[in-house]
Amino acid sequence: MSTTLKPGAISLFESVIMGIAGSAPGFSIATTAAVLIATAGNVSINALLVFAIPMLGIAVSYKGLNKKLPRAGAAYDWTTESFGKLLGFFSGWALLIATLVFVVSGSLTVGGNLMNIIDPALSSNLIATTSLGAFVYLLIGLVLIAGISLTSKVQVVMTSIELTILAVVAIAAYVHAGKVGAVQHPSFAWLGFQGYTLSSFAATALVVVFFYWGWDVTCNLSEETSDVPPNSAGNGGFYSVFITIGLFVAFLTAALVLFSMSTAQGFNVNIVYNIALQAGLGNVGAKLASFAVVLSGIATLETSMLQFSRTLFSMGRDRSMPTSMGLVDARTRTPVRTMILLIILGLVMIFASSFLPSIGTIIADSISAVAVQVCYYYGLAGLVCAWVYRDTYKESVGSWVLYALYPFLSAISLLVLGLYAIQTFNTVTKVVGIGGLLIGIVFFRPSGWKASLTTALAE
């Protein structure tokens, strides 16, 4: 056992792929496009673009902070370094809880879409989709335990296939609309703010935060990423955000063009499948669209599990969590213990979710619960970047605006959003979103956890 991850295992190209996989275009569109349309209506595209602004501000923060301190804990490490152990711990804890919550909705969606390919009649059966989703989740965990080199290669293959299929579906959708005619014709009103209220604005923003979340996995892999060219991990996440913005806008526009508002809102399990059907790609094309969503779901589950394992590993290495979590396997150079813990916790939560009424309910509640956790730890990262680069105006006003002012404003907008949105949550979402964060108090140790015998020997 050691405390050092495998350096140089990921290239800049692989880092960009990891960032795209983390945001999961296919999965995010399939699971949340209908929710976004139901919340924002005709101004859904406006919501995607408006809330991309603070998200890019956080991406800039990660890029700047990773250049200064490339660490597996990313936001956890940076916040601890600048703002102390308490805020640092809860930054890391928020990511851990967000990942655990996402594991449930992610696995169920993968199970549902995979079942839709195998046996459509069972795709709405919660027990069947739960079991299949749990099986896939376990397989992903075993691949991750095998090491980052294999994980990265698998990720490149899956995401490349996913993006190819999504591109074909999107092009077919626009060709179909051009030939047959659009159900709703594109309008500049789609870029406006008409119909927004304060509560709907907040609810819409949370959905969009969930849409974009995940690209930051690249910085959690910074200790395992090649530094040729410099800051590949930070740049990889930053570049990936632009690609995912383009894909999100393209598919949301396709949904609004092909379907009426009420029809689009009903496709809350896999709107990509329905877009492919409506675009005239037939059952084969629709099945391929579902396959792309399955690949995307597997890819984003993989990146989420990577974030969990690297963050918990870094917290264990720093003694913010039990020190046994801060060790890596000598052969694979992977934090195997954190992965085993995540697999066990994930399987328990996945099967526990079968007691909830429907897949749609689980997905809707998890989106808000995850988004508020993300607002918190993204917001802290933005504030840290503003603090670290606060004096750069002495050398360059442009650098100060980019790395201090922009991250600060982005951070404030996300933190305010999270605080306001909590008031609109139902009971289940409040328990998961707020209760999950507060449970961290049980694990926080101001003076750190004591080193275990295994850790002491490793050191």
What SS3 state is found at 2?
A: strand
What pLDDT, on the 0 to 100 scale, is given for residue 22? 95
308 Cβ contact partners less than 8 Å away, ≥ 6 residues apart? 95, 96, 99, 100, 338, 342
What pLDDT, on the 0 to 100 scale, is given for residue 134? 94
What pLDDT, on the 0 to 100 scale, is given for residue 352? 81
Confidence band, pLDDT 50/70/90 cuts, at residue 368? confident
pLDDT over threshold 70, residue 459: no
- As a whole number of angstroms, the longest Cα–Cα distance in the chain is 70
Mean pLDDT of 137-146: 95
CB 382 within 8 Å of CB 414 = yes
What SS3 state is found at 328?
A: strand
Mean pLDDT of 168-193: 89
What pLDDT, on the 0 to 100 scale, is given for residue 453? 47
* CATH class belonging to 12-445: mainly alpha
Mean pLDDT of 433-455: 84
Confidence band, pLDDT 50/70/90 cuts, at residue 165? very high
From the list 13, 14, 48, the residue with the least C-alpha distance to 28 is 48
pLDDT over threshold 90, residue 88: yes
- Going along 82-220, which residue ranges are E strands? none
The predicted model scores a pTM of 0.91
What pLDDT, on the 0 to 100 scale, is given for residue 1? 65
How far are the Cα atoms of 271, 285, 336, 386 from residue 163, in angstroms, in the given order? 16, 14, 30, 34
CB 238 within 8 Å of CB 59 = yes
Amino acid at 110: V
List, for residues 296-339, the tens digit of each pLDDT value.
999 999 999 999 999 999 999 999 999 999 999 988 999 999 99
CB 421 within 8 Å of CB 203 = yes
List, for residues 93-139, the tens digit of each pLDDT value.
999 999 988 888 788 888 888 888 888 888 778 788 889 999 999 99
List, for residues 185-214, the tens digit of each pLDDT value.
888 878 877 766 666 777 788 888 888 999
| Cα–Cα distance measured from residue 314 to residue 216, given in angstroms and rounded to the nearest whole number | 15
Amino acid at 254: A
From the list 296, 219, 375, the residue with the least C-alpha distance to 26 is 296
Determine which of 34-38, 52-56, 91-95, 159-163 has the lowest per-residue pLDDT on average: 34-38
More confident residue, 117 or 404: 404
27 Cβ contact partners less than 8 Å away, ≥ 6 residues apart? 106, 109, 110, 293, 296, 297, 299, 300
Average pLDDT for the chain: 89
| Cα–Cα distance measured from residue 83 to residue 86, given in angstroms and rounded to the nearest whole number | 8
DSSP result, 357-389: S-HHHHHHHHHHHHHHHHHHHHHHHHHHHHHHT
| Phi–psi pair at 328, nearest 5 degrees | -120, 155
Mean pLDDT of 152-173: 96
What SS3 state is found at 119?
A: coil
Determine what percent of the chain is predicted with pLDDT higher than 90: 63
Determine which of 47-61, 242-256, 280-294, 359-373 has the lowest per-residue pLDDT on average: 359-373
List, for residues 370-398, the tens digit of each pLDDT value.
888 899 999 999 999 999 999 999 999 99
What pLDDT, on the 0 to 100 scale, is given for residue 458? 53
pLDDT over threshold 90, residue 421: no
Ordered by start, the domain boundaries in the chain are 12-445
More confident residue, 7 or 357: 7
Confidence band, pLDDT 50/70/90 cuts, at residue 360? low
| Cα–Cα distance measured from residue 254 to residue 168, given in angstroms and rounded to the nearest whole number | 12
More confident residue, 17 or 264: 17
